[in-house]
């Protein structure tokens, strides 16, 4: 292909891109809009909270085979310096998105070309199953090609190290630097054959590596046995409806439910099989408004109404829960699900184990978890957002039992054998809680109300300000307002403290601000680590104040949350 009319950076990229589709897309884009094509080469995807995640397409700012190969070569360079063995074992999993299998094969090839051992899953697999296998197989690292709950056009590259947890500083910075070095050498290399690996291009290959098939079916069985073993004793009689959200969790969840002794769950048939187009939910995030509408419709049309709806996101690491209410269905908030799980598991822990219990949660999760932990004689540990932090006490606190960890974005770790979000095992435990409530003549909402009556009412909500559609100047202006957000009052209540998280007083420095008000309300503002949006987390509480009418107190809390949302949004957006 003659590319001499292209700028040098684009020519070099095309010489090294083994994918004819992205080559064609880049040439077509340059012919239509040269400036836009060259903008794809202004920097590269940052290696951050979730590894890599971006829209698929050509250039270093997109997810593609060149970026995947370069990232893997950089990781292997870092691993060889860190590991005792010159032949690191890397587990490679992938979801059912477009190009996931191809990207995973490229990862495995890079591992083998560098002299390592690549264990490549033979079928699309849920992310928590890969996380579980990382520890079970004692792998030096694991990579999952997934974009989790992002739109269909995206893909990503998620990394676990040998402790089974996502990486934290300084490892993330070190690996990012190694990737940048590899990428620079690779793109500056001479006339490389287009389908040669990155490691060979920069002269770092070590002969003797292998690629072995790793059975997704066997791994799923092993994880399922672990998930079932997480449960306690008691009735399993509860009717459930499950949605896989067009992802890879369906068979794993249904089989685990049956093996655990629950009635076979009904399923949202249109969303059960993997489909990379996500035809019924273009933004397949169960947090998003409308994402569960098809599940609600399926439940309403069923001959017998299910008692609880369970839904995973496409890679099955998150769990959404919905319950019937007087006027339809209500999705429980991530905090409500976290509280139900924590109360259930803490009660069981207190009955069976003399070691101190620990629950971990992100700083944007409800403070109710602190009260609940103290109520059960356990310790509550607050962390930065992201399960690379929430799971960290599993290894940092060997003196204690890690009972569970959660973050309000529907992520729950209910068994430390998976040191990340696990929407499959969490679904089993939620079904167990629903069955227990059913046996007691309660609903899940009743159980939440009981806890509020015992310990106090905490109500939370969240609002996001998307900025992907904004121009560069508008994005910068919003970022600056977030960075200095320090109001004197919000919705008529004085602010008593402001903590800028970048100052790193209690946690490693990160973007965001915590604002506490005189009435014990709290507002947290932070940029998302995986999406172009600013997230605003709101919490109001009755605190120690006694109340006699819970329904009235809930209404007050609802109104107060709405007032805070309006005040904060007005301050940031105008």
R_g over Cα of the chain: 24
Are the beta carbons of 493 and 518 closer than 8 angstroms? yes
Cα–Cα distance for residue pair 228/254, rounded to 1 Å: 12
Q: What is the arrangement of strands in the sheet containing 401-407, beginning at the earlier edge strand?
A: 379-383, 357-362, 401-407, 411-413
Cα–Cα distance for residue pair 480/478, rounded to 1 Å: 5
Task: Output the DSSP codes for 16-72.
Answer: H---HHHHHHHHHHHHH-HHHHHHTTSS----BTTBEEEEBSSSTTSBSHHHHHHHH
Q: Own/partner pairs for 502-511, CB < 8 Å, 24+ apart?
A: 507/363, 507/383, 507/384, 508/168, 508/169, 508/384, 510/384, 510/385, 511/482, 511/483
* Active-site residue identified among 77, 148, 380, 521: 148
Using DSSP, state whether 285 is helix, strand or coil: coil
For residue 490, count CB atoms less than 10 angstroms from its CB and return exposed for 0-12, middle for 13-18, buried for 19 or more. buried
Structure tokens at 65: 């085979």
Q: How many C-beta atoms surround the C-beta of residue 276 within 10 A?
A: 18
Pairing of strands 401-407, 357-362: parallel
Q: What is each CA distance from 260 to 225, 234, 255, in whole angstroms?
A: 9, 11, 9
Are the beta carbons of 99 and 152 closer than 8 angstroms? no
Q: What is each CA distance from 397 to 166, 344, 358, 379, 400, in whole angstroms?
A: 17, 22, 9, 11, 6
Are the beta carbons of 294 and 270 closer than 8 angstroms? yes
148 is catalytic: yes
Q: What is the arrangement of strands in the sheet containing 210-214, beginning at the earlier edge strand?
A: 52-55, 154-161, 141-145, 89-94, 117-121, 210-214
Q: Which of 57, 45, 81 is nearest to 183 (CA)?
A: 45
For residue 174, count CB atoms less than 10 angstroms from its CB and return exposed for 0-12, middle for 13-18, buried for 19 or more. middle
- Is the bond preceding residue 462 a cis peptide, omega within 30 degrees? no
Cα–Cα distance for residue pair 71/127, rounded to 1 Å: 19
Residues forming the active site: 148
């Amino acid at each position: 292909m003659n590319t001499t009319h292209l700028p040098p950076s684009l020519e070099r990229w095309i010489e090294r891109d083994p994918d004819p589709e992205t080559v064609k897309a880049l040439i077509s884009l340059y012919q239509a809009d040269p400036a836009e094509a060259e903008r794809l080469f202004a920097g590269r995807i940052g290696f951050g909270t979730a590894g890599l995640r971006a829209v698929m397409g050509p250039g270093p700012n997109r997810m593609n085979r060149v970026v995947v190969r370069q990232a893997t070569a950089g990781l292997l360079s870092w691993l060889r310096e860190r590991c005792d063995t010159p032949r690191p074992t890397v587990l490679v999993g992938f979801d059912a998105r477009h190009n996931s299998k191809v990207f995973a094969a490229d990862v495995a090839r890079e591992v083998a070309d560098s002299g390592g051992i690549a264990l490549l899953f033979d079928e699309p697999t849920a992310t928590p199953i890969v996380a579980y296998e990382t520890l079970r197989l004692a792998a030096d690292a694991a990579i999952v090609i997934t974009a989790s709950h992002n739109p269909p056009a995206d893909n990503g590259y998620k990394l676990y190290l040998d402790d089974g947890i996502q990486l934290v500083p300084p490892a993330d910075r070190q690996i990012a630097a190694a990737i940048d070095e590899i990428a620079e050498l690779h793109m500056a290399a001479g006339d490389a054959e287009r389908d040669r690996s990155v490691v060979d291009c920069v002269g770092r290959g070590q002969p003797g590596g292998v690629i072995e098939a790793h059975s997704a079916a066997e791994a799923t069985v092993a994880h399922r046995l672990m998930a079932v073993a997480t449960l306690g004793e008691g009735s399993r009689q509860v009717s459930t409806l499950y949605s896989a959200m067009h992802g890879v969790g369906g068979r794993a969840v249904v089989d685990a439910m049956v093996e655990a002794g629950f009635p076979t769950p009904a399923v949202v048939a249109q969303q059960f099989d993997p489909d990379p187009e996500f035809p019924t939910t273009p933004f397949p995030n169960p947090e998003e408004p409308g994402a569960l509408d098809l599940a609600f419709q399926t439940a309403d049309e069923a001959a017998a109404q299910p008692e609880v709806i369970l839904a995973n996101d496409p890679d099955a690491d998150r769990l959404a829960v919905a319950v019937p209410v007087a006027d339809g269905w209500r999705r429980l908030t991530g905090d409500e699900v976290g509280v139900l799980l924590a109360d259930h598991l803490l009660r069981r822990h207190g009955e069976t184990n003399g070691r101190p219990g620990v629950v971990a949660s992100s700083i944007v999760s409800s403070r109710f978890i602190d009260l609940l932990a103290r109520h059960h004689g356990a310790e509550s540990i607050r962390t930065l957002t992201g399960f690379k932090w929430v799971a960290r006490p599993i290894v940092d606190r060997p003196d204690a039992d890690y009972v569970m960890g959660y973050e309000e974005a529907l992520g729950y770790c209910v068994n430390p054998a998976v040191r990340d979000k696990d929407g499959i095992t969490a679904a089993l435990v939620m079904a167990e809680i629903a069955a227990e409530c059913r046996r007691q003549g309660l609903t899940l909402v009743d159980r939440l109300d009981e806890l509020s009556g015992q310990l106090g009412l905490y109500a939370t909500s969240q609002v996001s300000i998307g900025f992907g559609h904004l121009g560069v100047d508008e994005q910068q202006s919003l970022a600056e307002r977030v960075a200095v957000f320090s109001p004197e009052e919000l919705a008529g209540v004085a602010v008593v403290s402001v903590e800028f998280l970048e100052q790193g007083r209690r946690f490693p420095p990160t973007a965001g601000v915590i604002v506490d008000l005189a009435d014990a309300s709290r507002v947290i503002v932070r940029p998302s680590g995986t999406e172009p949006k600013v997230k605003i987390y709101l919490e109001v509480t009755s605190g120690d104040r006694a109340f006699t009418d819970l329904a009235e107190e809930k209404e007050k809390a609802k109104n107060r949350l709405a007032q805070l949302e309006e005040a904060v949004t007005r301050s940031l957006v105008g």
